[in-house]
Amino acid sequence: MEKVQAKVKEMKDSDAGKKLLEEAKKKLTDAKKAAGDLAAAAKKAAGPHLEELQKAADAAKKKAAEILEKAKKAAAEAKEEAVKGGAPEEKFMLIPDDIDTKSASMAGVVYYCGLVSLSLVAVSCVGVAVRRLRQNRRDVTLSLEEESAPFADEESLE
């Protein structure tokens, strides 16, 4: 790494290095100028096409807006005909929150009833466990200290 840095410093100090640096700067300036000329030429060449594309896009937007209006009118007329024919108006609402349904309120009731039943089951399980622990504490276990071998006859122990 030090050898490379020394070589670069030597090139900068020498006349040949200065000439190479000046030539590189000149080529960079020429390249920038050529790029600017190419960009200007591309912009000039694309100018008429951009106007045509803009006109086509505006025409397409206008046509789409007209078709959307026709579709809205047709949908409104279809809704009116269906309502006149006896269909419920709730079927044609766009926002479901505006529709009053009994099933939505019943779902909440069923949910809370289920939650209460699970809570009761959990509390009863805890009650049973506590009761068994208390009963086990009260029961006295008999221990026979004189018997060193379980299930052995007294005669065999002597």
The residues spanned by each domain of the chain are 101-137
Crossing angle of helices 15-84 and 2-13, rounded to 10°: 110
Q: Please provide the average confidence, as pLDDT, over all residues in the chain.
A: 81
How distant is the alpha carbon of residue 124 from its chain centre? 41
User: In this structure, what token pair is assigned to residue 43?
Assistant: 């912009």
- Mean pLDDT for 37-52 is 82
User: In this structure, what token pair is assigned to residue 116?
Assistant: 């209460």
The predicted structure's pLDDT at residue 147? 54
The predicted structure's pLDDT at residue 48? 76
The predicted structure's pLDDT at residue 152? 61
Q: Is the pLDDT of residue 141 over 70?
A: no
Q: Is the pLDDT of residue 71 over 80?
A: yes
Residue of 104 and 10 predicted with greater confidence: 10
The predicted structure's pLDDT at residue 53? 85
User: In this structure, what token pair is assigned to residue 37?
Assistant: 């000329």
Please, which residues have CB within 8 angstroms of residue 93's CB and are 6 or more apart in sequence? 99
CA angle 134/140/145 to nearest 5° reads: 150
Residue of 69 and 19 predicted with greater confidence: 69
| Four-point Cα dihedral 128, 130, 131, 134, nearest 10 | 160
In a 3-state reduction of DSSP, which class is residue 85? coil
Residue of 136 and 94 predicted with greater confidence: 136
Least confident range from 30-39, 45-54, 106-115: namely 45-54
3-state helix, strand and coil shares in percent for the chain, rounded to the nearest 5:
80, 0, 20
Statement: the pTM of the whole predicted model exceeds 0.75: no
Q: State the amino acid at position 78 in one-letter form.
A: A
pLDDT above 70 coverage of the chain, percent: 78
128 contacts 121 by C-beta, under 8 angstroms: no
Q: Is the pLDDT of residue 93 over 60?
A: yes
